[in-house]
Amino acid sequence: MTDAKKLFIKTYGCQMNVYDSERMVEAMGADGYVTTDVIGDADMVLINTCHIREKASDKLFSDLGRLRPLKAAKPGLKIGVAGCVAQAEGAEILRRAPQVDVVVGPQSYHRLPQMVRAKGQVVDTDFPAEDKFDHLPQGRGAKGPTAFLTVQEGCDKFCAFCVVPYTRGAEVSRPPVRLLSEADALVARGVREITLLGQNVNAYHGDGWTLARLIRALAAIPGLQRIRYMTSHPNDMEDDLIAAHGDLPQLMPYLHLPVQSGSDRILKAMNRKHTRDDYLRLIDRIRTVRPDILFSSDFIVGFPGETDTDFAATLDLIDRVGYGAAYSFRYSARPGTPAAEKPDVAADVADARLQVLQAALTRQQRAAQDAMIGREVGVLYEKAGRQPVGKSDHLQAVHVDDPSGRVGELVRVRILASSTNSLAGVRIS
């Protein structure tokens, strides 16, 4: 019996890329590969990329440069690039890194095993008519009590700064029957929390279902104790989804709702198609049905044309909402997007604004953490030990004084202490 071939995989970007990497591992596993954490042992190295920001592309080419000596020393080594940079820059990847054997886009990775077996360099960045999920292995295993489940891909919003509509394509929703079947299988393997993923997840419309209807059906699965979803667009938060936050105990009180800017002028330039007041009213509506909900968001600083007044409006919005977490970035022009043709804000100005913004968000995150002291929360254990670690209802990391705790247990915990990035508590039931 020959030894199994070994796959080393590195993933950049969002949770959807993590999910895609898991599925590619399964696809390659069906073709005789096992994963390795030692790159020097690999028969194939696969880099799953993100194209949202310029630095992600730079990291890819740095990685590929470091792989050149390994390829020279191990001629049989296969090198693959997957994901959104592959989709957007396939020809450039092969030009700059001829050691690459396979370039595959995010909609074609079900074909990866055949591409790896082929001779010479292979590129597949099509948007195939067939559903890739129909061609992927169905015996998906669970590695812990939490799992991602992609329900929707692509985006039709065409924000001026975003490459997703070009790299992931138009909005497509998976059939609810398939999703419920996959969720059933995950729960049967020990999963207790599922996070529904999509580039614009609350635009889900599979077979005429809304995301709220899908969540209600998932909540009826025995053993599925927690449901989350991300990432959402404010314009697709319909009444039935808002109501679900008040009706369903399985739907966790945490919502990632990107806004990007607090300035109406910048929101219009970004083609966001909502105003700051639209967003603030939406926040109020959701809090009315679920007062304990914790919000996170995305912010872009230094978008072309942003003035001090625009930036002040963003800081004001942050103060009015009070976020428990947030992701903030300096604007990065992506080739092919409308905003890329506009003059940049001076780098030193954008950097200074980002520091101010991140300091404000850090203060809010710490305040949200401190406000949990004395409260009782649910914690789903993801790691065991003398102090098991898991996530609270609000997606905060919690270290629990519970030496007998087991992975997969959902317990009640009283929070005793907080830090910027985690909480500490004791199990009470």
* Same-domain status, 358 and 421: no
- Is residue 327 included in any domain, yes or no? yes
Question: Is residue 3 scored above 80 in pLDDT?
Answer: no
Say if 67 falls within a structural domain.
yes
- Tell me: do 309 and 404 sit in the same domain: no
Q: Report the run of H or E that residue 70 belongs to, with start and end.
A: helix 54-73
- Assess if residue 315 is contained within a domain: yes
Asked if residues 306 and 266 have their Cβ atoms less than 8 Å apart, the reply is yes
Q: CA-to-CA distance for 297 and 353, rounded, in angstroms?
A: 17
* Residue keyed to tokens 């004395």: 374
**275 within domain boundaries:** no
Do residue 386 and residue 349 come from a single domain?
no
Are residues 44 and 12 part of one domain? yes
Average pLDDT over residues 1-19: 84
Query: Of 60, 93, 124, which residue constitutes the final position of a domain?
Result: 124
Stretch (H or E) spanning 307: none
159 shares its domain with 246? yes
CATH number of domain containing 231: 3.30.750.210
65, 98, 124: which is the final residue of a domain?
124
Helix or strand holding residue 112 (H, E): helix 112-117
| Residue 271 maps to a domain | no
Query: Averaged over 170-195, what is the pLDDT?
Result: 96
**Inter-axis angle of helices 54-73 and 84-96, nearest 10:** 50
CA–CA distance from 303 to each of 263, 342, 349, 353 (Å)?
11, 9, 11, 11
Distance CA 332, CA 314 (A): 18
- Average pLDDT, integer, range 117-143: 70
Are residues 163 and 106 part of one domain?
no
CA dihedral 264, 266, 270, 272 (to 10 degrees): -20
Give domain status of residue 270, yes or no. no
Residues 81, 86, 87: CA angle, nearest 5 degrees: 150
Question: Does some domain include residue 257?
Answer: no
Q: How many CB atoms lie within 10 A of CB 205?
A: 14
Token pair belonging to 42? 């690999």
Whichever domain contains 80, its CATH number is 3.40.50.12160
Q: Could you give the angle at the alpha carbon of 89 between the alpha carbons of 86 and 90, nearest 5°?
A: 60
- Residue 405 CA to residue 428 CA, distance in Å, equals 12
Q: Is it the case that residue 358 has pLDDT exceeding 90?
A: yes
What average pLDDT does this structure show over 63-85? 92
Domain stops at, among 343, 371, 399: 371
Q: What domain range is 332 assigned to? A: 286-371
The stretch 327-350 carries a mean pLDDT of: 94
In a domain, 206, yes or no: yes
pLDDT category of residue 127 using cuts at 50, 70 and 90: low
Mean pLDDT of 27-37: 93
Residue whose tokens read 């590929």 = 64
Residue with tokens 């404010």: 234
Helix (H, G, I), strand (E, B) or coil at 391: strand
Distance (Å) of CA 162 to CA 59, 62, 337: 19, 23, 7
Q: How many domains does the chain have?
A: 4
SS (H, E, C) 169-226: CCCEECCHHHHHHHHHHHHHCCCCEEEEECCCHHHCCHHHCCHHHHHHHHHCCCCCCE
Residue 322 sits in a domain of what CATH number?
Answer: 3.30.750.200
Residue 117's Cβ-count burial label (10 Å; 0-12, 13-18, 19+) is: exposed
In the block, tokens 């970007």 appear at 13
Query: Are 9 and 120 part of one and the same domain?
Result: yes
- Domain containing residue 383: CATH number: 2.40.50
Alpha helices in 331-424 (DSSP H): 347-370
pLDDT of residue 23: 87
Same domain, yes or no, for 57 and 91? yes
The answer on 168 and 112 residing in a single domain is no
Say yes or no: 111 and 162 in one domain: no
**What was the pLDDT predicted at 135?**
59
Task: Tell whether 11 and 118 lie within a shared domain.
Answer: yes
Of 239, 196, 240, 203, the residue nearest 221 (C-alpha): 196
Phi, then psi, of 148 in degrees rounded to 5: -95, 150
Note the helical H segments in 262-387.
264-269, 276-289, 308-321, 347-370
**Cβ distance 46 to 82 under 8 Å?**
yes
pLDDT at position 143, please? 76
Average model confidence (pLDDT) for the chain? 93
The answer to whether residues 64 and 98 belong to one domain is yes
Average pLDDT over residues 181-195: 97
Query: 329 in helix, strand or coil?
Result: strand
Assess whether pLDDT exceeds 50 at residue 1: no
* SS3 track for 345-368: CCHHHHHHHHHHHHHHHHHHHHHH
Instruction: Give the H/E segment covering residue 298.
Output: strand 294-301
38-62 average pLDDT score: 86
